[in-house]
Amino acid sequence: MKRILIGIVGAIMSLTLLGAATALWGMKELETFANRPLMLEQARELELNRGTNARALGKELVEQGLLEGSWHYDWYLRLNPAMAGIRQGLYEITPGDTVKSLLEKLISGKVKDFAITLVEGQTLREWQAKLETAPRLNWDADVFHKVLKANGDDSGLPEGKFFPDTYSYPANQDVETLLTQSYLKMQQELAAAWQVRAPDLPLASAYELLILASIIEKETGKAEERPLIAAVFINRLRKGMRLQTDPTVIYGMGTRFNGNITRKDLREDTPFNTYRIQGLPPTPIAAPGREALMAAAQPAQSDYLYFVSRNDGSHVFSRTLAEHNRAVNQFQRKQK
């Protein structure tokens, strides 16, 4: 009887040890599975719709060839129930991602971000062409005016009031959200520039500073010249001289501009033809960046009244019309 009891106890111990060994093997198998890279050679998108659960995700990964079908995935979720709390959204899977790292990404809600750069010196028409074709961004044809109205601006004049920068957004975001950021940022930057403006500038408001900054932005080929270009325009405004700047003429021509300005264009009466009007045009002609705003607020101390392009992005600055005409003869007329 004693021998039988000893045998039974031995058998139980052997089964217990076998079970422990099997459990340990299973845990190692699941750990190896969870940390094995998905079958992926290049980055791709993974979109989780509302209601998609972690088990359904496993089937989808198998169907897409990212994961081999086996018992491991379901058992990994059973033993790690916290990994089942995935969130909807558009995600990016990259080579090297594992089941564990992917689930952690989906739990954290770290959705794929997109980015778009709204370039300084461009018009809203140019921005619109870019925004309309931006991936995963919901476009609204009247969005610029909607943003203005939503922020208490009833002017109906959106040009120049949005700050050029790089903006990130998640998939399927409304463009109004993005442009609201841009609008508020411009309000902040413009207010900061207006606050530190030089004394006795011939500008009646922050909006006039914005208009001038947009012209400076369009005239600048080299960043270091912005304060000097600003000084020329400020000096001309003080003396009651016309600004006579080509970018305003081009803006006034709209889609008629084909790359050249004719004498007829310079004689045309438009609100933006600064060869014909006194002072500033009625609105900005592009989106100025921070440096152009600060140049308009703090122009260089200079008595220059003219500048002409050297055709390399830089300019020759002159104090008198005679000096200016010599520079024009040297750098412009001889080029034609």
CA gap 170, 203 in Å, rounded: 40
Whether 79 shows a pLDDT value over 90: the answer reads no
- State pLDDT tens for residues 61-73: 998 888 887 788 8
What's the per-residue H, E or C state across 282-316? CCCCCCCCHHHHHHHHCCCCCCCCEEEECCCCCEE
According to the model, what pLDDT value does residue 21 have? 55
Q: Please list the helix, strand and coil fractions of the chain in percent, rounded to the nearest 5, in that order.
A: 50, 10, 40
Using DSSP, state whether 148 is helix, strand or coil: helix
What is the pLDDT confidence band of residue 262, given thresholds at 50, 70 and 90? confident
CA gap 223, 2 in Å, rounded: 98
The one-letter code for the residue type at 220 is T
**Looking at the whole model, is its pTM more than 0.75?**
yes
Task: Summarize the confidence of residues 45-67 as an average pLDDT.
Answer: 88
Task: Summarize the confidence of residues 1-11 as an average pLDDT.
Answer: 48
Task: With beta carbons less than 8 A apart as the criterion, state whether 176 and 140 touch.
Answer: yes
- State pLDDT tens for residues 169-222: 999 999 999 999 999 999 999 999 999 999 999 999 999 999 999 999 999 888
According to the model, what pLDDT value does residue 10 have? 47
Going by C-beta distance under 8 Å and a sequence separation of 6 or more, which residues neighbour residue 272? 248, 249, 251, 252, 281, 282, 285
What is the pLDDT confidence band of residue 306, given thresholds at 50, 70 and 90? very high
CA gap 318, 70 in Å, rounded: 79
What is the pLDDT confidence band of residue 14, given thresholds at 50, 70 and 90? very low
What is the pLDDT confidence band of residue 22, given thresholds at 50, 70 and 90? low
Q: What's the Cα-to-Cα distance from 5 to each of 1, 10, 312, rounded to whole Å?
A: 6, 8, 101
Q: State how beta strands 89-93 and 44-48 pair.
A: antiparallel
According to the model, what pLDDT value does residue 51 have? 81
CA gap 21, 8 in Å, rounded: 20
CA gap 150, 32 in Å, rounded: 54
The one-letter code for the residue type at 114 is F
Task: With beta carbons less than 8 A apart as the criterion, state whether 106 and 52 touch.
Answer: no
- Nearest to residue 147, comparing CAs of 189, 190, 182, 191? 182
What is the pLDDT confidence band of residue 309, given thresholds at 50, 70 and 90? confident
Task: Summarize the confidence of residues 47-62 as an average pLDDT.
Answer: 88
% of the chain residues with pLDDT over 70: 91
175: number of Cβ within 10 Å: 22
Q: State how beta strands 315-318 and 306-309 pair.
A: antiparallel
According to the model, what pLDDT value does residue 224 have? 93
